[in-house]
């Protein structure tokens, strides 16, 4: 089996439209959540979100192509271009062994909404000829593959909020077992629309708190729901010897992946958290986690009552008493929940935690919950050597996904 390493990173997020800006914001505890500016929210219960700010798609695609692509695809192209440039891999990999695994939880929902409104107002003539290729969830992966002539496997994973993590995990497996030399992997989402905000709030998933800076408060007893975010997180995964031969910069080694399903409920997690715990166990087992390693988990940490309690229980079931000795934080306290993109962004944060020996905090934390009693690195970043970092995400439908990274060793 092959070793797999991370050689490039790219990010479009509510706290920065490149990796360095995003990471500096997360370390500083900067909150990217604010009042929605994209549309009138007067008819909505929820008026806040983690919007991407000042994104210019023409930095990544020609101006004439902008109207032919949904925003989630534009975000994916932006993050992928950053990651590919960062890695220096173009021209140094066999295009038939170069893949794209980029998914989205809901795909082109903005396109779907706008064209539905158009159809309702003016009939079929108001539906764009680009409606289908803009809307379908595989198009981000397809467009990225076209951009970079990646003719290997192109797999747009769709597993709700676990999408980005599953995409990275499945890419890891493809390289580990010899099916590819390098893969562009991650997730993209642009679901801050009236329809999706209404849908999530009506199913009681979103926070109804009115202060944007204290609405996404993972693990805090006051939490009442998640805050919608958007963007894209992408990384280049590469076979170690391939990366080494071309003199690539290596951020970390990817060492584990766990993928399970609760098979319990369409939206609620299993209260016993056994599926999530098994995803952690599988990851730690494949990675051969050692007792003397300093461990960090970038938690799913959505700020919903059930998730945060269940994830805490899952970590305890997977690690036993050791759970109290590790470091955990939820960067969703700053970005909001980026749905299918969140796994990509949070895997990047896990990798950079290893590189910089700095743990980004869980901001907005004030009131302890007796059922969430681990070390969530509240409110301020800390300097801490980290040998091993994991990222966990869980999605509607019972999807559980965990990925893990380690400091690179020869």
Cα separation, 111 vs 134, in Å, equals 7
Q: Which two tokens stand for residue 130?
A: 């680009």
The per-type count for the chain, helices as H runs and strands as E runs, is: 13, 13
Residues with Cβ within 8 Å of 35's Cβ and at least 6 positions away in sequence, in order, are 41, 47, 48, 212
293 vs 284: CA distance, rounded Å: 12
**Coil, helix or strand for 17?**
coil
* Angstrom distance (rounded) from CA 349 to CA 346: 5
Contacts of 375 (CB under 8 A, 6+ apart): 324, 326, 327, 328
Quickly list DSSP for 273-294.
-HHHHHHHHHHHHHHT--TTS-
Which tokens sit at 225?
């729901």
Do residues 392 and 374 lie in contact, with contact meaning Cβ atoms separated by under 8 Å? no
Annotation says 337 is catalytic? yes
Catalytic hit among 31, 154, 300, 372: 300
Q: Which of 31, 154, 337, 399 is catalytic?
A: 337
Catalytic pick among 31, 161, 242, 372: 161
List 234's β-bridge partners, or say none.
10, 186
Query: What Cα–Cα distance (Å) separates residue 149 from each residue in 198, 232, 407?
Result: 39, 20, 31
Instruction: Give catalytic status of residue 265 as yes or no.
Output: no
CB atoms within 10 A of CB 122: 10
Active-site annotation, residues = 161, 300, 337
């Amino acid at each position: 089996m092959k070793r797999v390493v991370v050689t490039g990173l790219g990010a479009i997020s509510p706290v920065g439209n490149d990796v360095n800006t995003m990471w500096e914001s997360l370390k500083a505890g900067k909150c990217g959540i604010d009042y929605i500016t994209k549309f009138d929210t007067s008819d909505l219960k929820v008026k806040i979100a983690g919007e991407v700010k000042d994104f210019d798609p023409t930095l990544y695609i020609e101006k004439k192509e902008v109207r032919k692509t949904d925003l989630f695809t534009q975000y994916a192209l932006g993050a992928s271009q950053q990651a590919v440039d960062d890695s220096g891999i173009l021209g140094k990999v066999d295009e038939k062994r170069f893949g794209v695994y980029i998914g989205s939880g809901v795909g082109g929902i903005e396109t779907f909404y706008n064209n539905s409104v158009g159809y309702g107002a003016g009939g079929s003539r108001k539906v764009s000829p680009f409606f289908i290729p803009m809307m379908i969830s595989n198009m981000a992966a397809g467009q990225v593959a076209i951009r970079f002539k990646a003719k290997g496997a192109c797999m747009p994973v769709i597993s709700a909020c676990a999408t980005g993590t599953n995409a990275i995990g499945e890419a890891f497996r493809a390289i580990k077992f010899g099916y590819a030399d390098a893969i562009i992997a991650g997730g993209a989402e642009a679901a801050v629309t009236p329809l999706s905000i209404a849908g999530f709030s009506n199913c009681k998933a979103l926070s109804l708190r009115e202060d944007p800076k204290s609405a996404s408060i993972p693990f805090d007893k006051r939490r009442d729901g998640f805050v919608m975010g958007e963007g894209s997180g992408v990384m280049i995964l590469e076979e170690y010897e391939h990366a080494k031969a071309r003199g690539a910069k290596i951020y970390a080694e990817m060492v584990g992946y766990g993928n399970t399903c609760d098979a319990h409920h369409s939206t609620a997690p299993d209260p016993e958290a056994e599926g999530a715990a098994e995803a952690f166990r599988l990851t730690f087992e494949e990675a051969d986690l050692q007792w003397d390693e300093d461990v960090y988990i970038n938690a799913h940490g959505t700020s919903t009552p059930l998730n945060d309690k269940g994830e805490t229980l899952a970590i305890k079931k997977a690690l036993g008493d050791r759970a109290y000795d590790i470091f955990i934080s939820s960067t969703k306290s700053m970005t909001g929940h980026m749905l299918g993109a969140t796994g990509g962004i949070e895997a990047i944060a896990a990798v950079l935690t290893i590189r910089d020996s700095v743990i980004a905090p869980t901001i907005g934390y004030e009131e302890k919950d007796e059922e969430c009693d681990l070390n969530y690195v509240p409110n301020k970043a800390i300097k801490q050597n980290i040998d091993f970092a994991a990222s966990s995400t869980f999605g509607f439908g019972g999807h559980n996904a965990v990925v893990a990274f380690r400091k690179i060793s020869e």
